[in-house]
Chains A and B, each alone.
Chain A
Amino acid sequence: MNKALHGLKVVGIVTAGAGPILVRNLIIHGAEAVLVETESRPNVTRASGPFKDGIPGPDRSYSFAISISGGLSILLDLKHPKADIVKTRLVEWADVIIENWRPGVVEKWGMGYEDLKKIKPDIILLSLSHMGRGGPYSNMAGWGITLSALSGLMFLTGWPDRPPVNLGGLGILPDYISPRFGLIALLAALEYRRKTGKGQHIDLSQYEAAIQFQIPAVLEFLANGKVRSREGNRSDYACPHGVFRCKGEDSWCAISIRTEEEWKKFVRVMGNPEWAKRFETFGERKKKESELEDLIQDWTKNQDASELMMKLQKEGIRAGVVRDLKDTLHCPQLAERKYWHTLDHPVLGPAVYQGPSYILSKTPYELKRPPCLGEHTEYVCTKLLGFSDEEFIELFQEGVFK
Chain B
Amino acid sequence: MADKPLSGLKAIDLTDEKGMFCGKILADLGVEVIKVEKPGGDEARMIPPFYKNETDKEKSLFWLSFNAGKKGITLDIRTKKGREIFKRLVEKADFLIESYDPGYLEEIGLGYEEIAKINPQIVVVSITPFGRHGPFAGLKADDLVIQALGAILSQQGDADRPPVRTSFVPQAYMHAGTDAAEAALIAYYFRTKSNMGQHVDVSIMESVLWVAGRDLAFFNAFGISYKREGSLWTRPGRGTIRSIWECREGYVAFAIQGGQTGAPTNRALVEWMDRKGMVPKFMKEKDWEKWDFGNVTQEELDRICEAVGAFFKTMSADEIEQEASKKGLLINKVCSVKDHLSNPQLRERGFWKEIEHADWEAKILYPGGFAKFSLTPVGPSFRAPKVGEHNGEVYKTIGLGREELDELRREGVI
Contacts and interface: CB of A to CB of B under 8 A. Distances in A.
A5 B193 CA distance: 9
A153 B174 CA distance: 12
B217 interface: yes
Interface residues of B, number: 156
A322 B163 contact: yes
Nearest to B245: A163
A219 B370 contact: no
A25 B206 CA distance: 14
Given A254-B145, A337-B131, A168 B152 contact: yes
6 contacts: A65-B217, A141-B330, A211-B351, A217-B337, A243-B144, A357-B204
Interface string B1-22: 0010110110000000000000
B169 interface: yes
Interface in A309-330: 313, 316-329
A162 B230 contact: yes
A377 B256 CA distance: 36
A373 to B, nearest CB: 17
Given A166-B156, A228-B167, A323-B154, A155 B336 contact: yes
Contact of A359 (B131, B193, B364): B131
B199 interface: yes
B64 to A, nearest CB: 7
Contacts of B65: 215-216, 218-219
A217 B338 CA distance: 9
A296 to B, nearest CB: 12
Nearest to A4: B190
A166 B231 contact: yes
Interface stretch (A184-192, A270-278, A387-395): A184-192
Given A149-B253, A189-B5, A233-B162, A348 B224 contact: no
Given A50-B218, A204-B371, A352-B219, 10 more contacts: A113-B374, A149-B251, A152-B336, A166-B155, A213-B169, A242-B144, A326-B225, A356-B210, A360-B201, A361-B200
B182 A184 contact: yes
A187 B186 contact: yes
A146 interface: yes
Band of interface residues on A: 35 or more
A203 B373 CA distance: 6
Contacts of A68: none
A267 interface: no
Nearest to A365: B186
Nearest to A47: B261
A148 B25 CA distance: 22
A250 B227 contact: yes
B246 interface: yes
A283 interface: no
A203 B186 contact: no
A166 B145 contact: no
A6 B362 CA distance: 48
Contact of B62 (A147, A216, A250): A216
Interface in B167-191: 167-169, 171, 174-176, 178-183, 185-190
A300 to B, nearest CB: 11
Contact of B169 (A204, A207, A216, A320): A216
A151 B335 CA distance: 7
SS class of chain A's interface: helix, strand, loop or mixed? mixed
B221 A62 contact: yes
Interface in A330-384: 331-334, 336-337, 339, 348, 351-363
B237 interface: yes
Contacts of B210: 176, 354, 356-357
A188 B330 contact: no
Given A141-B330, A318-B141, A326-B219, A146 B211 contact: no
Contacts of B6: 188, 191-192
| Most chain A CB within a 10 A radius of its CB, from B150, B337, B378 | B337
A252 B163 contact: yes
B213 interface: yes
Contact of A242 (B162, B179, B227, B332): B162
Contacts of B344: 135-137
Contacts of B51: 223-224
A214 B190 contact: no
Contacts of A29: 186
Contacts of B339: 152
Contact of B5 (A188, A207, A254, A324): A188
Instruction: Determine chain B's interface SS by DSSP, over half rule.
Output: mixed
A158 B156 CA distance: 8
Contacts of B64: 219
Interface stretch (A71-79, A81-89, A193-201): A193-201
Contacts of A157: 156, 164-167
B397 to A, nearest CB: 21
A159 B158 contact: yes
B255 A320 contact: no
B282 interface: no
Contact of A208 (B61, B163, B193, B367): B367
B372 A324 contact: no
B348 A231 contact: no
A154 B135 CA distance: 34
Contact of B206 (A50, A232, A357): A357
Contacts of B215: 170, 324-325
Nearest to A160: B167
B77 interface: no
Nearest to A113: B374
Nearest to B204: A357
A150 B339 CA distance: 9
Contacts of A200: 373-376
Interface in B361-399: 362, 364-376, 378
A396 interface: no
Interface in B119-165: 130-131, 133-137, 139-142, 144-158, 161-165
A242 B140 CA distance: 15
B66 A215 contact: yes
Given A137-B325, A184-B185, A244 B330 contact: no
A358 B153 contact: no
Interface in B221-243: 221-222, 224-231, 233, 235-238, 243
Interface string B69-92: 000000000000000000000000
A301 B195 CA distance: 56
Contact of B340 (A49, A187, A218, A231): A218
Interface in B311-366: 325, 328, 330-341, 344-346, 348-349, 351, 362, 364-366
Nearest to A25: B182
B19 to A, nearest CB: 12
Nearest to A315: B140
Given A168-B212, A188-B29, A203-B374, A243 B206 contact: no
Nearest to B131: A337
A142 interface: yes
Contacts of B137: 333
A333 B129 CA distance: 11
Given A131-B345, A214-B337, A191 B188 contact: yes
Contacts of B139: 313, 320
B335 A233 contact: no
